[in-house]
Each structure stands twice: as C-alpha cells, then as structure tokens.
Chains A and B, each alone.
Chain A
Amino acid sequence: MTAGPARAASIADALTFIGTHSHVYLLGRRPDGYPTGWAMTARARDDAVDFSTYRASAKVRHLAAAGVASVLAMSDDRADHCVLLAEGPLAVLDGAVWFDDDAPVAARPDVHRQVPAEVVEKVASRHESGKRCVLRVTIERARFSERLV
C-alpha cells in the first residue's frame, strides 16, 4: 500500500500531464508561513504553467513576494491514481498573455466545456482590461506519485 519512491518526471512529461488532467492546484505560502493551495484554471505552455487570477487578489501579492510556487495535477477519475507535483519560479505577467497562441492545452477540459458563455466573455474582458493577470510557474523540477485511496 505504500506509494513507493516518487518518480522524477521530465518537464515535457509534467507539462503534458498538467495539460491533460482535470484537477490543477497552484500551491504557495501565506505571509504567516502556512502553506496553501488554490484549484484554478490553468494552461500548460512550453516550459511553464499559466494561471488566471485577479491582479488585486491577495494570492498575487503573496506569491509574487515568495517568487516560487508548486503545481499539483491529478485526474478526477478515481481509477487514475497518478499525481504530478511540479515546482519552479513564479512571475506575474500581463493579462493579455493568457491569449497567446502557443498555449493550445487548457487544463480542466471537462469543466471548460461547461463554463457559461457569459463567464468566458467576462474573464476575457478582465484580461484585456488588466484586472486579471497571469501567474506563470516555470517548471524546473517535477515528480509523479500515487494518491492514497
């Protein structure tokens, strides 16, 4: 029943996994030192993972100050026990980056198909206006493990 030693993952394998699995979390630390995590919409890119959020949110301030974050991805299929954990430096980018053409893979595809059109339009508008920004984690290390069921 043990997980066995964690398996190192290549950056390419990590990004493919993140882009094709529905649960993606951004992990960081609060100012008081407590770890924390947010389930978020993400896009996997060549060597990084982008997250969309409001520029004025507390998480942006906290993560920007830390300069590093982790990404956890797993399947919503309970028969798929594989979990990916990746980490690297974090940067806060302009919201327009969200629409760059080189980001073909969107995580949480099942949910994306159900997002109401007005929500999609609102998010796009907030990116264009600068109210939303992109948190980019450039993946430097990654490993696979197994979830305990």
Chain B
Amino acid sequence: MAKRDIRMSDDEIARFLAAQSTATVIGSPPSGAPSAAVGRLEYDDGAVAFSVHDDDPVVALLADDDRTCCVVEQFPSYYEIAGVMLHGRARRRDAAAPGEATFDLAVEKVVSFDFAKLRDVS
C-alpha cells in the first residue's frame, strides 16, 4: 500500500506557523549529542524568528555553528497532531529583550505533517 502523504501545503504551513507561539530550537556541537531549548516563535509572512533565554547553552552552540532545526508542533488530539520542522541557519539579532537572545532563521528545508490528512483518506 502506498504511503499516505500527510504533508502540509505551503499555505497550510504558513497558517499553522502563524497560529503557533512555541518552538523547540536545536543546536549541535561538533561531536556528541545535540542540545535544545524551548522558546518563543515569531512568524510573519514567511519570515521566521525565535527567542530563547540568553543563558541557555544552545545560544553558545548557535554562535559556533549556525545550523539549526526549529520544531513547531501541536497535539491536542491524535488527529490534530501537526507539526513543521524548519532547518536552516540562525543569525542572532543585535537587539533583543533583556535576558533573551533572538535569532532570525534563514530557512533552507521544511518538513511538515498533519495527521488530519490520515482521517481524510480513511
């Protein structure tokens, strides 16, 4: 049986990201296990940014290697599970709220899933 395509369209991704406010931001050292922080997502007409505590270890990781993955997900119920993974490069803004580090994300790859599409084809 063919694998079901549960990816979101570009419009669906835009609507999903506009409705979310939390992002899991992952950074990686040259070797060893990745680290991650949970912060605030900003999405405005295709532009993605995120903020995390400025003393979180992931900030130093992104300073050394700007490659990151930003995961945005919801799961109020099984068929409402949906998410977007944004891979790209993070550039820290000079200005941010006190105690925060804010990064603009130059998105290079997007992966999405929407479990509602499983129900649609059942």
Instruction: Tell whether A and B belong to one assembly.
Output: yes
State the A residues within 8 Å of B (CB).
Answer: 1-6, 22-23, 25, 27-30, 33-37, 39, 68-70, 72, 74, 76, 78, 83, 85, 87-88, 108, 111, 114-116, 119, 145-149
B35 touches A70 (CB 8 A): yes
> Which of A25, A30, A119 is close to B36, meaning CB atoms less than 8 Å apart?
A25
Q: Is the CB of A111 within 8 A of B33?
A: no
Which residue on B lies nearest to A6, using beta carbons? B57
Question: Of residues B37, B51, B73, which shows the largest number of chain A Cβ atoms within 10 Å of its Cβ?
Answer: B37
A28 vs B31: C-alpha distance in the bound complex, in angstroms? 11
Closest residue of B by beta carbon distance from A146: B53
Tell me how many residues of B have a C-beta within 8 Å of chain A: 38
Cβ contact within 8 Å between A33 and B28 = yes
The answer to whether A5 and B55 have CB atoms under 8 Å apart is yes
For B60-81 the 0/1 string (1 means CB < 8 A from A) is 0000010111010101011001
Please measure, in the bound complex, the distance between the C-alpha atom of A148 and the C-alpha atom of B100, giving whole angstroms.
8
Most buried by A among B52, B54, B78: B78
How many contacts between A and B, using CB within 8 angstroms? Answer: 112
Interface pair A85/B77, CB less than 8 Å apart: no
Q: In the complex the two chains form, what is the Cα distance from A27 to B61 in whole Å?
A: 15
Contact B40 A149 (CB under 8 A): yes
A and B contact pairs by CB, cutoff 8 A, 25 listed: A1-B99, A1-B100, A2-B55, A2-B99, A3-B56, A6-B57, A34-B67, A34-B87, A35-B34, A35-B67, A35-B69, A36-B87, A37-B85, A39-B75, A39-B83, A68-B33, A69-B34, A70-B33, A78-B22, A108-B75, A111-B81, A114-B78, A115-B78, A147-B39, A148-B100
A83 to B26, CA, bound (A): 13
Q: A27-B33, A69-B33 are in contact. Are A114 and B77 (CB under 8 A)?
A: yes
* B106 on the A face (CB < 8 A): no
Q: Which residue of A lies closest to B57 (CB)?
A: A6
List of B residues within 8 angstroms of A4 by Cβ = 55
Knowing A6-B57, A37-B69, A148-B40, the reply to whether A29 touches B28 (Cβ < 8 A) is yes
Q: Which residue of chain B has its CB nearest to the CB of A112? A: B78
